[in-house]
Amino acid sequence: MLNIKNITIQYGKKKPVIEDFDLNINQGEIISIVGESGSGKTTLIRSIAGLLPGEGKVIKGNITFQDESLLNFSEDKWNEYRGTKLSMIFQDCGSMLNPIRKIGAQFVEYILTHEKMSKKEAYDKATQMLYKMRLSNINNIMNSYPFQLSGGMRQRVGIAMAMTFKPKLLIADEPTSALDVTTQAQIISQMIELRDKYNTSIIIVTHNLGVATYMADKIVVMKDGKIVEQGNKFKILHSPKSDYTKKLLDSVPVMEGKRYV
């Protein structure tokens, strides 16, 4: 459903940060991307969502989503697709909420721009989504300004919004790294449920090999803007081919004589 073919990405005139990169994801597949800081994970997945920052540009290759070239999308087309067909969750997506409007008003308006329904129905839909994010006192949250919530609560509001329309593709960049372990587990399980129920494809970037392994069908290991290894998660974990993947695995903490993943 998503096909990345031979792309090269550059910021301004600097040396490309992603080079000749290929990746395919099938409908309903979950891919975890791991790799050291600066290896280009965020750059790669932002390019899929058409959200490269600054002077970032795909200078070569193509990205197709359900047989349409994403690189040719107009702003209007993006507005139609983003949030409904293809959603992105950033590490700090809670910070993208409008600071001077209450959560409820923003969430209801977001739903109404994408779906015809009454305000009351949109409100109910929003509260159901927040409930799934393990938030309590939901009416209270709906009635709060973003600054009245903790960072983790705002993040969960952002994740709830991204998942509302059961997108065909969900792209997540370190979505839960700022959350406590229990909340993280709940959100991971909501993402897996989205895949199981609605056949959503998911690409998740994470530094947590435990999360990567738990969620993914396939793991992609990146280094210096390239894939060093990819494949079935068990294969990657139990018989890593590249020295780099071995090093990554060695850096996973060992607890009670057992490795975490």
Ligand X SMILES: Nc1ncnc2c1ncn2[C@@H]1O[C@H](COP(=O)(O)OP(=O)(O)OP(=O)(O)O)[C@@H](O)[C@H]1O
Nearer to Mg ion, 42 or 245 (CB): 42
| Minimum distance of ligand X from residue 7's CB (angstroms) | 13
Side-chain half-sphere of 196: how many Cα atoms within 13 Å?
Answer: 8
Any contact of residue 151 with ligand X (CB under 6 A)?
Answer: no
Contact 156, 187 (CB under 8 A): yes
Label residue 68 left, alpha or beta by phi (over 0 means left) and psi (-120 to 50 means alpha). beta
CA distance 44 to 50: 10
8: exposed, middle or buried (Cβ count in 10 Å: 0-12, 13-18, 19+): middle
Instruction: Tell me, by CB under 6 A, how many residues bind ligand X.
Output: 13
The mark string for 53-82 relative to ligand X (x by CB under 6 A, - otherwise) is: xx-x--------------------------
| Minimum distance of ligand X from residue 11's CB (angstroms) | 3
Residues with Cβ < 8 Å from 238, sequence gap 6 or more? none
| Minimum distance of Mg ion from residue 150's CB (angstroms) | 22
| Minimum distance of ligand X from residue 128's CB (angstroms) | 32
Interaction partner, residue 158 (ligand X, Mg ion, none; CB < 5-8 Å by kind): none
Interaction partner, residue 11 (ligand X, Mg ion, none; CB < 5-8 Å by kind): ligand X
Alpha helix locations (H) across 103-221?
103-114, 119-132, 138-142, 151-163, 181-198, 209-215
| Minimum distance of ligand X from residue 12's CB (angstroms) | 7
Any contact of residue 11 with ligand X (CB under 6 A)?
Answer: yes
Contact 158, 89 (CB under 8 A): yes
Interaction partner, residue 214 (ligand X, Mg ion, none; CB < 5-8 Å by kind): none
CA distance 222 to 135: 34
Of 33-41, 58-66, 105-113, 142-150, the segment contacting ligand X by CB under 6 A is 33-41
Any contact of residue 206 with Mg ion (CB under 5 A)?
Answer: no
Per CB under 5 A, the list member of 10, 39, 42, 206 interacting with Mg ion is 42
Per CB under 6 A, the list member of 21, 34, 41, 88 interacting with ligand X is 41
Of 50-58, 66-74, 127-135, 150-158, the segment contacting ligand X by CB under 6 A is 50-58
Nearer to ligand X, 43 or 155 (CB): 43
Contact 8, 60 (CB under 8 A): yes
Residues with Cβ < 8 Å from 241, sequence gap 6 or more? 229
CA distance 142 to 137: 9
207: exposed, middle or buried (Cβ count in 10 Å: 0-12, 13-18, 19+): middle
Residue nearest to Mg ion (CB): 42
Residues at the contact surface with ligand X, assessed by CB under 6 A: 11, 17, 35, 37-43, 53-54, 56
Residues at the contact surface with Mg ion, assessed by CB under 5 A: 42
